Amino acid sequence: MSTTRGSAPGAVTEDVSRTTAGLLREEAEQARRTLLKRALTSSPAYMFGVLLVLVIVFSILSPSAFPTTSNARNVVLNASPLLVMAVAMTYVMIAGGFDLSIGSVLVFANVIAAKVMGWMGTDDALTVVVGLLAALAAGGVWGTFNGLCITKLRVPPLITTLGTLGAALGVADLISGGNDVRTVPLTLINLGSAEPLGVSWIVWVALVVLVVGGLVLHMTRFGRHTYVIGSNPEAARRAGINVDRHVLGLYTLSGVAAGLAGMLSLTQFATTTIAGHTTDVISVIEGVALGGTSMFGGSGLMVGTLIGIFIPATLTNGFIIQNVQPFWQQVATGFILIGAVYLDQLKRRSRERA
Amino acid sequence: MTRRLRMGVPLCALAVAAIAAGCGSSSSSSKASSSSGASSSAGSSGSSGKTYHVVYIPGLTGNPFYSTVACGAKSVAPQMHVKFSVQGAPTFAVNAQTPVVNAVTATHPDAIMISNDDPKGMIPPLLQAQRAGIKIVNIDGDLAEKSVGVTNIQSDNAYGGQLAGQAMGKLIGGKGTVAIIDNDPGFPISEARVAGFMQAMKQYPGVKVLGVQYSHNETSNAASIVSSTAAAHPDFAGVYTVETNNTEGAITGARDAHVVGKLKIVGYDTSDPIVKGIQDGTVSADIVQYPYGEGQVGLQSAVKAIQGQSVPREQTQPFVVATKANVNTANVQRFIYKTSC
Amino acid sequence: MTAVLEADSITKRYGHVTALDGASFTANAGEVTALIGDNGAGKSTLVKILSGVIAHDEGTIRLDGERVRLESPQHARELGIETVFQDLALAPDLGPAENMFVGREILRGGWGGRLGVLDKARMRREALESFVSMGTDVKDMFAPVASLSGGQRQSVAICRSIKWASNVLFLDEPTAALGVRQTRNVLDLVRRVAARGVAVILISHNMPDVLQVSDRIEVLRLGRRVAQFPGQGTSIEQLVGAMTGALDQRAA
Ligand SMILES: Nc1ncnc2c1ncn2[C@@H]1O[C@H](COP(=O)(O)OP(=O)(O)O)[C@@H](O)[C@H]1O
Ligand SMILES: [Mg+2]
């Protein structure tokens, strides 16, 4: 258990220790240089370039409509629920998994939260808090179910979450009778239109999730174990990491994130959106993949996910403003995605040749 | 509101003239549009022709009904000096339609014609657009908040459903089992069509109506619902198909189950295969709306509103019940959808 | 010499395959013990059992004279047993320092530590110190392990185990993928670790290497120990004979 017990062997020569000292002095400097170089040549850096080009081109093409604060605010607002789910998906994919069920779980949590708040019949802060907890729990239940199927029953993630993709939506339809639920308290609707510091609550929540998600991924042991599991689960197991428990945790997290996204969506639209999330999972996986997270697990950066989510969102917005047929947006994103994953593959191959 | 009435209208018209002049039909020339658009707010005088910019946002893209609305609007656009365009999302959902409305609002058209995906959920983005001085014309789906939008043009879906029910009752002689196929649960328009149908069926107590079955807008699902229902119920007399894909699927399903002619199909909305089905008798009756007219009236209402004239808040469009007997008459033909124009 | 690790009559079956059939094994503190045998003799299986990766069916294991049940790799490591597996068990996407501390990450002091915040700089420093002091040429603490040469990868895995081994160190064919010079380095390392008082168990197919570095040699054949030799004064012919069964000598 102790992390400091092991010590370097005693047989260290003068010569070696001098080298060590020299190398250690350089270490901090080297760390800084290497990090900078790696950052500039990483997938997120390329994709940030792509995003920047898109923003510049659209700004030049329609300077009065595209680069305005209200337009930017709308783009960010509309992408916020996706971003929340993408943060969790980044973890799941770095650990070498997939969660196809998130769109349906969002709808399920959406319906549960609306129903619970409707049953309460009250309209105050407490109603909203209970609704939020209900949404998170509803998402968490499906996430845990996914995790248990994957770790205990050994059903592959793709199949498990494909199953719950159908099941969660089906149960949501059963509960709601297939009708969108509109029992949304005014408190929540007002919360949705409130804009502290000029930005909607919905965006603030997504931002907090992104930042916390990024810090935990890159700074903590939990994050580190996520990478190890995705890179080599057997190595993780032999290193004493409880892989099953960790993976179960990640799918639960993904479910909870979908639940939160469901609550955000309810806040924004004041109604459940039963029919509106069938393609969410595609947008989310697309965003995470565009951001450079490997489809094979083991590598990825949270900042990449942020950039990746905004590439399709910006394309859609810019194309509509340019009055380009919306189908072109799907075509463009598709090709950018293939390009991004090709880049990832190239890097992998050149690394393995080395 | 009052301020816009006093001085917003003439300014707006000028700005629009300038934008439309710069915009042309290709997107690449919009650089010019925005620079002139910016200058127009300072009041560039002397533009003679008033050209308005109107965007239609359908419930979803690639749907024959909405395409026909667009065709109708397009047909009257030149004579009304309107630069008309269409932007939409591929799914019928409030969270898909909202970003489209947001982006269209950013381009500041004079009016938005919209087939709303949700009566409540679409209020915030459209309110934003209305506050930016854009006229909102609701087509085939009003908002819960009547202060948003100058008008709503639609056919009465519950009434259409009743027409379907009456046709069905007569066709099957008031007895047998009847199935209903809808796309997906949760859409008020389809629900009204079903409710109207059920209302009419109350006059036929001898008919057993099965619960609504959902095809998820898949023709093949609708086909298998029909063939399996035929197998399960020997007295399967009629099927009410609430959208085009379901009617098309029912035609296939009836063929698969060898019940063509015996099984009465009553559809709602048309497409080319459905028109053929009516002509050869596979489809016994079809409720046809008049989306082409909705598009025309919609654009005319938009221009009136832009010019400050009053428009009735509610406008309805007629139906026709198409059967083998009347489908080729000119009166019915003008109701049939036009997906390309 | 005291026996640190003693395995007695270990049996392991995979369905119809008997991987180990009553194998015994002894390793002493401060000694290099070679474990040799033909392919399929059961060497890797024995190592996995003695490092807690898999459970055995029958037999007993003693550590410092006490009977133990190795519940998991984690448990074995807590008892000071480290292993360099034949497949190295590295995470290819992570760097050498990250790999060195997998499952044993150093956390920051105080508040951050309680939240699980890593002390990355310290781990990099400590890792670099080990790599240099062990005479390896692993210098870039950021490069993913997959981009290192085979020898460097081996070095990372070995250094990791050495760093943590306090009682027993298993090395399953650590030189199989290495060139002459790197093999030399590894063998030197093996001797140095043994000099610290650790019981080192080396699995290798290279008989000259085995004879050069080992204090004792144990031979497995068909899942059993069939011979024990001293490192000094044994010939390659004797080893090969025991491995192939041409020269059977019952284990005591
Ligand atoms: N997981 C396993 N499943 C089935 N058989 C196995 C497994 N692992 C090892 N074996 C079998 O056990 C025997 C011993 O294997 P191993 O310990 O790998 O031998 P060595 O390392 O000496 O070459 C072989 O016959 C091998 O096929
Ligand atoms: Mg082996």
Domains delineated in chain B: 12-29+156-288 (3.40.50.2300), 40-154+292-312 (3.40.50.2300)
Using a CB-CB cut-off of 8 Å, the residues of chain B touching A64 are 34, 37-38, 108
User: What is the residue extent of each domain of chain A?
Assistant: 45-57+74-348
Q: Return the structure tokens found at A223.
A: 């994050």
CA distance A41 to C213: 45
Q: Return the structure tokens found at C235.
A: 């010939």
CA distance A286 to C173: 42
Using CB distances shorter than 6 Å, the residues near ligand 1 are C 14, 17, 19, 37, 39-45
In this predicted structure, the answer to whether residue B22 has a pLDDT above a threshold of 60 is no
In this predicted structure, the answer to whether residue C248 has a pLDDT above a threshold of 70 is no
Print burial letters for C83-94: b (CB count within 10 Å at least 16), e (below 16). Answer: bbbbebbbbbbb
CA distance A298 to A292: 11
Using a CB-CB cut-off of 8 Å, the residues of chain C touching A17 are 133
Q: Are residues C18 and C58 in the same domain?
A: yes
Burial (CB count <10 Å: 0-12, 13-18, 19+), residue A129: exposed
Q: Are residues C191 and C237 in the same domain?
A: yes
Whether residue A253 contacts residue A259, with contact meaning beta carbons closer than 8 Å, is answered with no
∠ CA B79-B80-B84 to the nearest 5 degrees?
100
Q: In the predicted model, what is the mean pLDDT of residues A307-329?
A: 87
CA distance C94 to C164: 19
CA of A42 to the centre of ligand 1 (A): 41
Element at A84 (helix H, strand E) = helix A69-94
CA of A183 to the centre of ligand 1 (A): 63
Q: In the predicted model, what is the mean pLDDT of residues A332-345?
A: 80
Instruction: Look at the block and give the residue holding tokens 């070498």.
Output: A96
Instruction: Look at the block and give the residue holding tokens 């014309």.
Output: B137
Q: Are residues C55 and C177 in the same domain?
A: yes
Using a CB-CB cut-off of 8 Å, the residues of chain A touching B103 are 71, 74, 316-318, 320-321
- Report the candidate in B163, B178, B175, B165 with the shortest Cα–Cα distance to residue B210: B178
Residue A279 — very low, low, confident or very high, per pLDDT cuts 50/70/90? confident
Residue A336 — very low, low, confident or very high, per pLDDT cuts 50/70/90? confident
Q: Read off the CATH number of the domain in which C183 is found.
A: 3.40.50.300
Q: Sign of dihedral through CA atoms A116, A119, A121, A122? A: negative
Q: Are residues C214 and C153 in the same domain?
A: no
Mean pLDDT of chain C: 90
Who wins on pLDDT, B49 or A40? A40
Instruction: Say if strands B176-182 and B151-154 run parallel, antiparallel, or are unpaired.
Output: unpaired
Hey, what CATH class is A45-57+74-348 in?
mainly alpha
pLDDT attached to residue A51: 92
Q: Return the structure tokens found at A254.
A: 């993904």
CB contact under 8 A, B35 and A277: no
> Last residue of a domain, which of C118, C144, C164?
C164
Terminal CA-to-CA distance of chain A, rounded, Å? 36
Is the residue at C194 inside a domain? yes
pTM, whole model, 2 decimals? 0.79
Residue C184 — very low, low, confident or very high, per pLDDT cuts 50/70/90? confident
Identify the closest residue of chain B to A64 by CA–CA distance. B34
Q: In the predicted model, what is the mean pLDDT of residues B130-157?
A: 92
pLDDT attached to residue A251: 98
B87 close contact with A: CB closer than 8 A: yes
Which residue from C13, C16, C17 has its CB within 8 A of the most atoms of ligand 1, so it is best to mutate?
C17
CB contact under 8 A, B31 and A323: no
- B/C Cβ contact: 3+ pairs below 8 Å: no
Q: Which long-range contacts (CB under 8 A, 24 or more apart) does B26-31 make?
A: B27/A61, B27/A322, B27/A323, B27/A324, B28/A61, B30/A61, B30/A62, B30/A322, B30/A323, B31/A60, B31/A61, B31/A62, B31/A63
In this predicted structure, the answer to whether residue C133 has a pLDDT above a threshold of 90 is no
CB contact under 8 A, C128 and A23: yes
Q: Are residues C46 and C103 in the same domain?
A: no
CA of C224 to the centre of ligand 2 (A): 15
Residue B10 — very low, low, confident or very high, per pLDDT cuts 50/70/90? very low
Atom of ligand 1 nearest to the CA of C12: 12
Identify the closest residue of chain B to A173 by CA–CA distance. B185
Terminal CA-to-CA distance of chain C, rounded, Å? 17
CA of A96 to the centre of ligand 1 (A): 28
Residues 6 or more apart whose Cβ sits within 8 Å of residue C184: none
Task: Please report, rounded to a whole number, the percentage of residues in chain C having pLDDT higher than 70.
Answer: 97
pLDDT attached to residue A1: 37
Q: Are residues C127 and C189 in the same domain?
A: no
Is the residue at C85 inside a domain? no
Beta-bridge mates of residue B236? B177
Q: In the predicted model, what is the mean pLDDT of residues C160-178?
A: 88
ipTM here: 0.83
In this predicted structure, the answer to whether residue A343 has a pLDDT above a threshold of 80 is no
C71 close contact with A: CB closer than 8 A: no
> Last residue of a domain, which of C131, C164, C197?
C164
pLDDT attached to residue A131: 96
Q: Which of A60, A271, A326 sits opposite B118 (nearest CB)?
A: A271
Residues 6 or more apart whose Cβ sits within 8 Å of residue A181: A110, A111, A114, A115, A118, A271, A272
Who wins on pLDDT, C88 or A96? A96
pLDDT attached to residue B25: 33
pLDDT attached to residue A161: 97
Q: In the predicted model, what is the mean pLDDT of residues B323-333?
A: 90
Q: Which of B34-38, B303-307, C40-44, C122-126 has the lowest mean pLDDT?
A: B34-38
pLDDT attached to residue B36: 34
CA distance B62 to B321: 24
CA distance B323 to B305: 38
Q: Are residues C42 and C117 in the same domain?
A: no
Sheet holding C81-84, edge to edge: C81-84, C168-172, C199-203, C32-37, C216-221, C224-230
pLDDT digits (tens, 9 = 90+) for B193-239: 999 999 999 999 999 999 999 998 888 899 999 999 999 999 999 99
Element at C62 (helix H, strand E) = strand C58-63
Contacting subunits of C (3+ beta carbon pairs below 8 A)? A
In this predicted structure, the answer to whether residue A212 has a pLDDT above a threshold of 80 is yes
> Last residue of a domain, which of C164, C191, C209?
C164
Q: Which of A68, A182, A317 sits opposite B99 (nearest CB)?
A: A317
Sheet holding B320-322, edge to edge: B207-214, B176-182, B236-241, B264-268, B283-288, B320-322
Using a CB-CB cut-off of 8 Å, the residues of chain C touching A14 are none
CB contact under 8 A, B95 and A179: no
- Report the candidate in C174, C238, C245 with the shortest Cα–Cα distance to residue C209: C174
pLDDT digits (tens, 9 = 90+) for B254-266: 998 999 989 999 9
Residue A345 — very low, low, confident or very high, per pLDDT cuts 50/70/90? confident
pLDDT attached to residue C85: 86
In this predicted structure, the answer to whether residue A14 has a pLDDT above a threshold of 50 is no
CB contact under 8 A, B106 and A65: yes
Using a CB-CB cut-off of 8 Å, the residues of chain A touching C192 are 9, 11
Mean pLDDT of chain B: 84
CA of C48 to the centre of ligand 2 (A): 10
Who wins on pLDDT, B240 or C187? B240
Interface of C with A in 136-195 (CB under 8 A): 139-142, 144, 146-149, 162-166, 192-193, 195
Who wins on pLDDT, A30 or B69? B69
In this predicted structure, the answer to whether residue B8 has a pLDDT above a threshold of 70 is no
Which residue from C12, C44, C51, C204 has its CB within 8 A of the most atoms of ligand 1, so it is best to mutate?
C44
In this predicted structure, the answer to whether residue A308 has a pLDDT above a threshold of 90 is yes
CA distance B208 to B202: 10
Query: DSSP readout, B218-251?
Result: -HHHHHHHHHHHHHH-TTEEEEEE-SHHHHHHHH
Q: In the predicted model, what is the mean pLDDT of residues A271-295?
A: 90
Burial (CB count <10 Å: 0-12, 13-18, 19+), residue A165: buried
pLDDT attached to residue C155: 86
Q: Are residues C5 and C74 in the same domain?
A: yes
Identify the closest residue of chain C to A354 by CA–CA distance. C147
Q: Which of A94-103, A337-346, B8-17, C224-233 has the lowest mean pLDDT?
A: B8-17
Query: DSSP readout, B178-199?
Result: EEEEES-TT-HHHHHHHHHHHH
pLDDT attached to residue C50: 95
Residues 6 or more apart whose Cβ sits within 8 Å of residue C18: C11, C12, C223
Q: In the predicted model, what is the mean pLDDT of residues C14-21?
A: 94
pLDDT attached to residue B39: 33
Domain with C22 in it: 1-80+167-252
Identify the closest residue of chain C to A294 by CA–CA distance. C93
Burial (CB count <10 Å: 0-12, 13-18, 19+), residue B33: buried
Mean pLDDT of chain A: 87
B131 close contact with A: CB closer than 8 A: no
At position A77, the amino acid (one-letter code) is: L
CA of A7 to the centre of ligand 1 (A): 34
CB contact under 8 A, B185 and A176: yes
In this predicted structure, the answer to whether residue A351 has a pLDDT above a threshold of 70 is no
Q: Which of A154-168, A215-229, B37-51, C118-132 has the lowest mean pLDDT?
A: B37-51
CA-nearest residue for atom 12, ligand 1, is C19
Q: Return the structure tokens found at B25.
A: 């039909």
CA distance C54 to C71: 9
Q: In the predicted model, what is the mean pLDDT of residues A212-238?
A: 96
In this predicted structure, the answer to whether residue B43 has a pLDDT above a threshold of 50 is no
pLDDT attached to residue B6: 34
The total number of structural domains that make up chain C: 2
Q: Are residues C72 and C105 in the same domain?
A: no
Q: Are residues C74 and C173 in the same domain?
A: yes
Contacting subunits of A (3+ beta carbon pairs below 8 A)? B, C
pLDDT digits (tens, 9 = 90+) for A146-205: 999 999 999 999 999 999 999 999 999 899 877 788 888 989 988 888 888 888 999 999
In this predicted structure, the answer to whether residue A2 has a pLDDT above a threshold of 70 is no
Q: Return the structure tokens found at A68.
A: 């305005």
In this predicted structure, the answer to whether residue A208 has a pLDDT above a threshold of 90 is yes
Whether residue B81 contacts residue A41, with contact meaning beta carbons closer than 8 Å, is answered with no
